[in-house]
Amino acid sequence: MDIYFLGTGAGMPTKERNVTSIALTQYEERGSFWLFDCGEATQHQVLRSPLKLSKLEFIWITHLHGDHIFGLPGLLSSRSNQGGTSPLTIFGPKGIEAYIRTSMQISQSRLNYDMNIVEISEGLVYEDEQCTVETALLDHRIDSYGYRIQEKPKPGSLDIAKVKSYGLLPGPQYGLLKNGTDVTLPEGTVIRSSDVVGPPQPGRIIVVLGDTRPCANVLRLAQGADLLVHEATFAQELAALAREFYHSTTSEAAHAAAAAGANQLVLTHISGRYADEGTDLLLEEARRIFPNTQVASDHSSYPIPLRAKEEK
């Protein structure tokens, strides 16, 4: 699992940065990837990446500003033309369905897959056997959401040698033990699952925020995150401008990561004013407060390591 940045700029594309789009790859876990936001020309960025639109499972839209949604109609059509046939679900704020349906209808686009659109509100918006996705409203000029993706714990590893020491040969009972069920042998011996299965693998937490000023919901969503993706449109010297336009600074993002106890912070949504002098200033400011910070660039990727298992 890793985070792959397709676009990392703010407002308008520049020669160095396209507008916002972020992929969460889960090929080993789910055989798919998820997309967070879809700014203009996202499909072009996908062509320059290792991603395949046929593997796209979910799209999560943070808010309805153009630099986060103008790439949707083209990407949805291209997914169909490039062999994507599996269902696709799009989550986003109220209004996202009207935008997509109208765009597709007027352009007479035809899709070769089922498309489901879910307009979200705060709270739990998705759950399956592998993960949950929770949202909360942030502080922006229009409704802007953050997403907290939390993996569910995975069962620990079965100690095969220890199980065989009881005389139990491989078979369905191995699966019962691994899933927490005790097994009784014909002679009455009880093999307790807790004795032959290692500690569970804790799930990872990934948090992707939409555009926002500092607010309480940033900290709530980011609590204990393995990786936090936070906008940092401006350097700290432009804090007043950031507040006026409902954005965050590098220092504000770093303070949020520290207060939430996050493990890694990746900054994105970088203003075009930093194209010439680069992002060294932004990185330096953030690392003074939260050392494990990176500034994303287009086509940069950040792995999300497994959490350490807890001892029994």
Query: Which domains, ranges and CATH numbers included, belong to the chain?
Result: 2-154+200-303 (3.60.15.10), 160-196 (no CATH)
Could you confirm whether 67 is annotated as catalytic?
yes
Dihedrals φ, ψ of 46, to 5°?
-60, -40
Give per-residue pLDDT as tens, 166-196. Answer: 888 888 989 888 888 999 998 889 999 988 8
Please say if the pLDDT value at position 311 is more than 70: no
CA distance 80 to 294: 35
Give per-residue pLDDT as tens, 13-58. Answer: 999 999 999 999 999 999 999 999 999 999 999 999 999 999 999 9
Full-model pTM: 0.91
- For 15, counting Cβ atoms within 10 Å of its Cβ (0-12 exposed, 13-18 middle, 19+ buried), the class is exposed
> Looking at residues 270-281, what average pLDDT do you find?
88
> Among 67, 143, 226, 298, which one carries the catalytic annotation?
67
CA distance 282 to 33: 29
DSSP-based three-state secondary structure for 242: helix
* Residue list, annotated binding site for Zn(2+): 63, 65, 67-68, 140, 211, 269
Residues 6+ apart with CB under 8 A from 8: 17, 18, 20, 268, 269, 270, 296, 297, 298, 300
CA distance 206 to 62: 15
Please say if the pLDDT value at position 92 is more than 80: yes
Residue 274 φ/ψ region, left for φ over 0, alpha for ψ in the -120 to 50 degree band, beta for the rest = alpha
Per-residue buried b or exposed e for 204-217, using 16+ beta carbons within 10 Å of the residue's own CB: bbbbbbbbbbbbeb
Q: What is the pLDDT of residue 42?
A: 98
* Residue list, annotated binding site: 63, 65, 67-68, 140, 211, 269
Structure tokens at 307: 């959490």
